[in-house]
Amino acid sequence: MSSRLFIVVVEDHDGLREATTEMLVHQGFATLGVPSAEALDLSELARSPDIFVVDLNLPGEDGLSLANRLRAAHPAVGIIITTARTHINDRVKGYESGADIYLPKPVEPLELVAAIKALGARVLAQSTKDLRFTLDDTHLLLLGPKGRAKLSPAEVRLLGAFTEATGHILDRAQVTLLLSPDNPGISVDSLQNRLSHLRKKMQSCGADAETIQAVRGTGYRLCVEVLQETLPESVLRWRVIE
């Protein structure tokens, strides 16, 4: 399981951050360390994180504020807060801000790994169970449980039409016109290639191979739930490399 999880450690203490990320990499996790919430927002990530390990006393935006907006932007993400502040009121504020687990410093490496594995099992199970995707036609983005993908305007048009169609089914002529409005006479092979490219983008976001199925004698069906909305700024603050 660990190799499938991507962990981001937000810790301003350079030595502790480096030691923690090194330990997690050694345990088999894909891991990135950043010194602040602001550095996280500027980071270019290979995929959307599964779990954040957040220090409470960060410079600039503090850990409570960061946890709060991470939870608002990514309801299924795992959040572990680490801090030397162990008073009950501090722990309550941490949980109210969206933390799943609150660990007092100094955190034993074995306990952190155990917490990540337990939380990671829930995150992975939820992302597999809840295959919902968000289509942002303003930013030409598709957001899923495993990441996001940049779409072409034609791909956005097609997914938007699928979501509004009865039974999420479009006939072949509609699909062709949506994907290639300037050349509706494209070949079957060209149409299949464009649909295959879109399926791969959806798979990179967490979908399985059956996202868009051919319907014999009709056309194509969208087989996952896609909601259309403009993503909040908190989701767009860091850029996932496509």
pTM: 0.60
In this predicted structure, what is the pLDDT of residue 46?
65
In this predicted structure, what is the pLDDT of residue 238?
57
Helix (H, G, I), strand (E, B) or coil at 215: strand
Side chain identity, residue 104: P
In this predicted structure, what is the pLDDT of residue 3?
45
**Cα dihedral sign for 24, 28, 32, 37?**
negative
In this predicted structure, what is the pLDDT of residue 48?
76
All residues at 6 or more sequence positions from 44 whose CB lies less than 8 Å from its CB, including other chains: 238, 239, 240, 241
Q: Which two tokens stand for residue 127?
A: 């992302």
Task: Output 161-167 pairs: Cβ under 8 A, ≥24 positions apart.
Answer: 162/212, 162/220, 162/222, 162/226, 163/135, 163/222, 163/226, 163/227, 163/228, 165/222, 167/221
In this predicted structure, what is the pLDDT of residue 58?
93
In this predicted structure, what is the pLDDT of residue 241?
46
In this predicted structure, what is the pLDDT of residue 5?
85
* Topology of domain 2-129, CATH: Rossmann fold (3.40.50)
Identify the bridge partners of residue 213 per DSSP, sorted by sequence position.
221
In this predicted structure, what is the pLDDT of residue 240?
53
What percentage of the chain's residues is helix, strand, coil (to nearest 5)? Answer: 45, 25, 30
Task: Output 35-40 pairs: Cβ under 8 A, ≥24 positions apart.
Answer: 35/10, 35/11, 35/59, 36/10, 36/12, 36/60, 36/61, 37/10, 37/61, 37/62, 37/65, 37/66, 40/8, 40/10, 40/66, 40/237, 40/238
- Cα distances from 90 to residues 84, 170, 233, in angstroms, run 10, 53, 28
Q: Which two tokens stand for residue 167?
A: 């039974």
pLDDT in tens, the chain (242 residues): 444 789 999 999 999 999 999 999 999 999 999 999 999 988 877 677 889 999 998 999 999 999 988 887 777 789 999 988 777 777 787 787 778 999 988 899 999 999 999 998 887 766 555 567 889 888 898 988 777 889 999 999 999 999 999 889 999 999 999 998 888 788 888 999 999 999 999 888 877 767 898 888 888 999 888 888 876 666 666 555 44
Write down the domain spans for the chain: 2-129, 132-240
* Topology of domain 132-240, CATH: Arc Repressor Mutant, subunit A (1.10.10)
